[in-house]
C-alpha cells in the first residue's frame, strides 16, 4: 500500500474480497470499520485484529445506512479517509432462468444499496479532508454478457451512477472511484460453472485494489491482459460483438 490512510470503512466486508480488504488495511495500521449483515463473521474479524471495528449493516435498509454513517462519524471523529462500497449478491442467469425476483434482489443490494449509502453520506460531503469513496463494480457492467442478466445490469447502473456524480463532487471533498476486478475465487464465483480466466485469490485482488486506490486513477481494472481484452469489447461494433457473444453462448450451452 503506497498511500497511508488513517482510517477506512469497508461495506460488505464479512467475506471474500471485502474481508481481504479489511485484513490488509488493518495489518497496515489503518483503523478499519467493517459492515455487513453477518455479525458473527464481523466479530471473528474483530478478534483477529483490534484495529477492526464492526458496524453491522444491511445496505437495503436506508435508515440503517443513515444510522451507521452517524455512528462511524462519531467513532472516527469524522468520516474515514477511505470508504469501499463492496456489498453485492450474484445469481448466474441466462434467458432460460430469467427470474424477475432474483433480478430485483440483485438491483436492491448491488445498486440501491449503494444509492442508500450515498444518500446517507452526501450530507457530509463538505469534509475538511479528502474522503475517497470506491465502488466495487465489475466488467459485466461494461456490456451485456451471456449468463449475467440482472447482475450485469446492477453493475452497469452503479458505474453510471458514479460517473454521473463524479463531475459535481470533484473538489467537494469526496473523491469517487471505480474498482473493476476480474474473477476472484469467493462464494460468489463458486456459483459459476465455467472456466474463469486469470482467477485471483481475494488477497491478491485486495492488494491490487488498495495499490490502485493509493494512486489517483478513477477507473481501476485488473488483472491484465484479461481485463484489457474485456475493455476492448466496449468499443466493438454490435455486429462483431454479438457474433462473439453467440460463440460464447454456443460453447457454454448453459443459457
Ligand atoms: N468474485 C468475483 O469474481 C468478482 C468480480 C468482479 C466484481 N466483484 C465484486 O466484488 C465485490 C465482492 O464480491 P465477493 O466475490 O467477495 O462476494 P462475497 O464473498 O459474496 O462478498 C459479498 C459481501 O457483500 C456483503 N453483503 C451482501 N449483501 C449485503 C447487504 N444487503 N448488506 C450489507 N452487506 C451485504 C456480504 O456480507 P453478508 O452476507 O454478511 O451481508 C459480503 O461481505 C462485489 O461487489 C462483487 O460484485 C466480484
CATH number, domain of 218, equals: 3.40.50.720
DSSP state of 59: T
**CA 12 to ligand 1 centroid distance, Å:** 6
Q: Indicate whether residue 22 lines ligand 1 (CB < 6 A).
A: no
Structural domain that includes position 62: 7-252
Domain count of the fold of the chain: 1
Q: What is the pLDDT of residue 111?
A: 98
Whether residue 127 has its Cβ less than 6 Å from ligand 1: no
| pLDDT for 37 | 98
| Domain assignment of residue 102, yes or no | yes
184 lines ligand 1 (CB under 6 A): yes
Residue to substitute in 9, 10, 17, 190 for testing ligand 1 pocket (most ligand atoms within 8 angstroms of CB): 17
Query: pTM score > 0.95 for this model?
Result: yes
Report residues of the chain scoring pLDDT below 70: 1-3, 127, 252-255
pLDDT of residue 3: 65
Distance 123 CA to ligand 1 centre (A): 26
Answer yes or no: is the C-beta of 221 below 6 A from any ligand 1 atom: no
Is 232 among the domain residues? yes
pLDDT at site 251: 75
**Closest CA to ligand 1's atom 8:** 138
How many Å lie between the centroid of ligand 1 and the Cα of residue 86?
Answer: 6
State the pLDDT at residue 249: 85
- What DSSP string runs through 36-104? -S-HHHHHHHHHH-TTEEE----TT-HHHHHHHHHHHHHHHTS--SEEEE-------B-GGG--HHHHH
92-115: per-residue pLDDT in tens?
A: 999 999 999 999 999 999 999 999
Please report whether residue 2 resides in a domain.
Answer: no
Query: Which atom of ligand 1 is nearest to 41's Cα?
Result: 40
1 lies in some domain: no
Amino acid at each position: 500500500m503506497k498511500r497511508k490512510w488513517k482510517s477506512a470503512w469497508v461495506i460488505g466486508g464479512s467475506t471474500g474480497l471485502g474481508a481481504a480488504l479489511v485484513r490488509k488495511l488493518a495489518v497496515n495500521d489503518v483503523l478499519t470499520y467493517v459492515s455487513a449483515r453477518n455479525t458473527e463473521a464481523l466479530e471473528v474479524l474483530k478478534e483477529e485484529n483490534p484495529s477492526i471495528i464492526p458496524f453491522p449493516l444491511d445496505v437495503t435498509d436506508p435508515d440503517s445506512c443513515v444510522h451507521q454513517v452517524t455512528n462511524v462519524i462519531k467513532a472516527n471523529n469524522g468520516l474515514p479517509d477511505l470508504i469501499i462500497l463492496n456489498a453485492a449478491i450474484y445469481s448466474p442467469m441466462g434467458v432460460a432462468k430469467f427470474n424477475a425476483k432474483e433480478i430485483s434482489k440483485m438491483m436492491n443490494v448491488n445498486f440501491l444499496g449503494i444509492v442508500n449509502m450515498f444518500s446517507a453520506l452526501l450530507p457530509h460531503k463538505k469534509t475538511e479532508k479528502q474522503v475517497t469513496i470506491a465502488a466495487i463494480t465489475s466488467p459485466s457492467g461494461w456490456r451485456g454478457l451471456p449468463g449475467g442478466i440482472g447482475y450485469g445490469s446492477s453493475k452497469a447502473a452503479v458505474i453510471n451512477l458514479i460517473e454521473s456524480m463524479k463531475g459535481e463532487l470533484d473538489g467537494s471533498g469526496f473523491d469517487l472511484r471505480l474498482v473493476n476486478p476480474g474473477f476472484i475465487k469467493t462464494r460468489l464465483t463458486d456459483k459459476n460453472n465455467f472456466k474463469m480466466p486469470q482467477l485471483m485469490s481475494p488477497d491478491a485482488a485486495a492488494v491490487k485494489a488498495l495499490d490502485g486506490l493509493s494512486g489517483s486513477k478513477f477507473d481501476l481494472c485488473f488483472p491484465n491482459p484479461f481485463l484489457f481484452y474485456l475493455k476492448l469489447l466496449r468499443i466493438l461494433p454490435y455486429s462483431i460483438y454479438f457474433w462473439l457473444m453467440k460463440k460464447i453462448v454456443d460453447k457454454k450451452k448453459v443459457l
